[in-house]
Amino acid sequence: MKRWWLLKAAKFVVMAVVAAFVLGFVVMSLWNALIPELFKGPVIGFWQAVGLLLLSHILLRGWGRWRYANGWHRDRWRKRLKKSWRR
């Protein structure tokens, strides 16, 4: 019995962890390069940067059912366009 789904899931988890570390490092580096100099703000650590990234995601994108609303509109537009092309 092949377990291709297990390999895909493991690959997804590894990529998500790598992306989280890279994005956390980028946010930390940008924050520490700009905010203390421009606004006399604090220097933050890696885990604070990851928390800030998560908080901004929650506040700006949300987790609710409207998260993919724009995709639904695009899909609806695409279906209408294809339907008109068939005519």
- List pLDDT tens digits, range 11-50: 999 999 999 999 999 999 999 999 999 999 999 999 999 9
Q: Is the pLDDT of residue 1 over 60?
A: no
Question: Please, are residues 36 and 54 in contact by the beta-carbon 8 Å criterion?
Answer: no
| Unique residue bearing structure tokens 């279906």 | 79
The pair phi, psi for residue 63, each rounded to 5°, is -120, 0
Q: Is the pLDDT of residue 3 over 60?
A: yes
**What integer is the mean pLDDT of 75-85?**
80
Q: What pLDDT, in 10s, does the model give residues 63-77?
A: 665 555 555 556 777
**Closest to 50 in 3D by CA, of 82, 72, 22:** 22
Q: CA 71: distance to chain centroid? A: 15
Residue 48, token pair as written in the block: 């604070």
